[in-house]
């Protein structure tokens, strides 16, 4: 271990090869103290409140695993907001919805349980990287847990799910917003449009009332 400032994220993510690149740009001054020999150095990190909130609100994430032959493999996982559960500050879980039946990610985890999760919140341009160790929970072993993974704050998720990922968090990093585009979901756009239209709706309602008053006045004058 290099210093007592070592972090578990630095121990896992940074190597001598990345340090050489950092030395060339000077960023070693920001990250060098986090490095360590051995990826078990430093204390395991926990999800803070802001990170946990982002994860609970996500509808999309990327899962990285490694094949038995050493190739990296990245898979997208998506669902309604709340499909990723923060069980506690050290544990994340989500259902394994039925897909194309290739089972590459599952097979990789069966061989090597180390995973990396990548979350992006486009409206706030926030991204979070999480290192962890995954366990596959089968419905036959814990049906109540699987059913829990099929619920959100809005109710039941209507999809097939025979297993779930439960991930023990090892380390995390919330890095810079640079180069993340601002994107909004249809739900957010509809909400923004509704708020933007409120003043116009009030004006329209006032004009409609005034128009009705004038029509009534015209009708009265004609009747005289």
DSSP state letters, 59-108: SEEEEEEE-TTS-EEEEEEE-STT-EEEEETTEEEEEEE--SS--HHHHH
185 contacts: CB under 8 Å, gap ≥ 6 = 59
Rounded Cα distance, 219 and 170, in Å: 77
Residue pair 165/136 in contact (Cβ under 8 Å)? The answer is yes
pLDDT per residue as tens, the chain (224 positions): 344 578 889 889 888 898 899 999 998 888 888 887 777 777 889 999 999 999 999 999 999 999 999 999 999 999 998 999 999 999 999 999 887 789 999 999 999 999 999 998 877 778 899 999 999 999 999 999 999 999 887 777 777 889 999 999 999 998 766 666 666 556 665 555 565 566 777 777 777 888 887 777 787 777 76
Task: Give pLDDT, residue 2.
Answer: 46
CA dihedral 29→31→32→36, nearest 10 degrees, is 170
In this prediction the pTM is 0.76
What is the length of the chain? 224
> Which sign, positive or negative, has the C-alpha torsion 147, 152, 155, 157?
negative
Task: Give pLDDT, residue 7.
Answer: 86
137 contacts: CB under 8 Å, gap ≥ 6 = 93, 145, 146, 163, 164, 165, 166
Running DSSP on this structure, what letter comes out for residue 119?
A: E
């Amino acid at each position: 271990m290099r210093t007592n400032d070592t972090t578990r994220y630095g121990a896992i993510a940074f190597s001598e090869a990345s340090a050489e690149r950092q030395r060339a740009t000077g960023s070693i001054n920001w990250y060098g103290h986090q490095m360590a020999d051995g990826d078990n150095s430093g204390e395991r990190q926990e999800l803070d409140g802001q990170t946990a909130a982002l994860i609970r609100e996500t509808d999309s994430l990327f899962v990285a695993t490694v094949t038995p032959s050493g190739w990296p493999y990245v898979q997208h996982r998506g669902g309604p907001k709340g499909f990723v559960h923060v069980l506690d500050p050290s544990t994340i879980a989500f259902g394994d919805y039925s897909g194309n039946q290739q089972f590459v990610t599952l097979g990789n985890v069966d061989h090597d349980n180390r995973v990396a999760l990548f979350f992006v919140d486009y409206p706030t341009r926030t991204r979070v990287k999480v290192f962890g160790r995954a366990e596959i929970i089968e419905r036959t072993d814990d049906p109540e847990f699987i059913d829990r993974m099929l619920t959100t704050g809005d109710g039941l998720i209507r999809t097939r799910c025979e297993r779930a990922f439960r991930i023990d968090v090892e380390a995390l990093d919330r890095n810079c917003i640079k180069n993340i585009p601002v994107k909004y979901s249809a739900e957010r756009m509809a909400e923004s449009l509704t708020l933007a239209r409120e003043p116009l709706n009030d004006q329209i309602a006032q004009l409609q009332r005034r128009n009705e008053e004038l029509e009534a006045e015209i009708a009265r004058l004609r009747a005289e």
